[in-house]
Amino acid sequence: MDTHWKQLGQAAEDAVERLLAKSQSAKLWLRGELDYEDMTDDGWFDMGLGKPYTSRQVLQDEKVGTDREVLLADASADEKLNELLEKVEKQALELGLDEDVADKRDEQSTEIKRKVVKMMAKSISDSMGGAISYEEYENFGYATDIQRCKETRKSNVVWIGDVRKGVCRHRAFLFKYLCDKILPYLCRLERSKIDRGLHVGHAWNCVKFYGDVDVEGQQRTYTLDLMHDVGEMYENGTIGDVNPQDPWVPKYQRKNIYAQMDI
């Protein structure tokens, strides 16, 4: 009997892994994160927290309500998203990013990639209502715009290109998609485990640049600011405190579930 249940458990585990290997949407739903190597593409969606996982079609057919919106990135159908993608691709070329630079790890190439990240961050911020101070974040008032997006498509699935006023979750979702297109393998998306209070579903991106290491050869990573000091990259720190964590990392990630403004 024990062998039978172990086989069933293994079969279920294998089925989940096959699903996650095929669907970044499922992986984000289950794990609350997509790593640097998890490439997103057209049709990728984020259900947020609190719902059983289901298909995009089922989600699109649901009656419009006030539940947390599902975010969809699909430039093949979303004209506004496609326009933004083409715009940042053009600007990335103007900044010097090409296939050769993308593959290099020298200081000059890394600096170009940093400029491209900052450009994408600003483009996203500009398209979603601009920067807002840390203290005024809770008063940004994005809910009305999200409801407008739902009514536009007659669905709880919000096309990310429609969003004119977005906060951390919307911006982090869009940045992951754009970065995977322009600077693949350099962006990670993380979602807070907060399940109540002001910051349910809070999300952010981490970025890294291969070749950008500390004196001990450890890869540096950064938390990217898309809301306040847009384009700023805060050091996450490396093991042994060779490079200590920037104090803004836990603030931007809102690590304290009861936080209003301060950590």
131: left (phi over 0), alpha (psi -120 to 50) or beta: beta
State the pLDDT at residue 48.
86
Cα angle 75, 78, 80; round to 5: 100
Residue 197 pLDDT > 60, yes or no? no
Confidence grade of residue 80 (pLDDT, cut at 50, 70, 90): very high
Residue 36 pLDDT > 90, yes or no? yes
Q: Which residue has the higher pLDDT, 64 or 195?
A: 64
**Mean pLDDT score of the chain:** 89
Percent of the chain surpassing pLDDT 70: 86
Structural element, H or E, at residue 27: helix 24-31
Residue 15 pLDDT > 50, yes or no? no
Confidence grade of residue 192 (pLDDT, cut at 50, 70, 90): confident
Place of tokens 């057209």: 42
Residue 256 CA: distances (Å) to CA of 49, 61, 245, 249: 18, 36, 16, 12
Residue 137 pLDDT > 80, yes or no? yes
CA torsion, points 107, 113, 116, 120, in degrees to nearest 10? -140
Kindly report the backbone phi and psi dihedral angles of residue 166, in degrees, each rounded to the nearest multiple of 5, phi listed first.
Answer: -125, 150
Instruction: Estimate the share of the chain in helix, then strand, then coil, as percent rounded to the nearest 5.
Output: 45, 15, 40
Contacts of 225 (CB under 8 A, 6+ apart): 121, 231, 232, 233, 234, 248, 252
DSSP summary character for residue 183: S
Query: What number is the average pLDDT over the span 52-69?
Result: 91
Q: What is the pTM of this model?
A: 0.90
DSSP summary character for residue 160: G
State the pLDDT at residue 243.
86
CA distance 219 to 212: 6
Residue type, 202: H
Contacts of 62 (CB under 8 A, 6+ apart): 155, 156
The Cβ of residue 65 has, within 10 Å, a number of other Cβ atoms equal to 10
State the pLDDT at residue 242.
80
Q: Which residues sit opposite 44 in a β-bridge? A: 73
Nearest Cα residue to 262 out of 192, 206, 198, 205 = 198
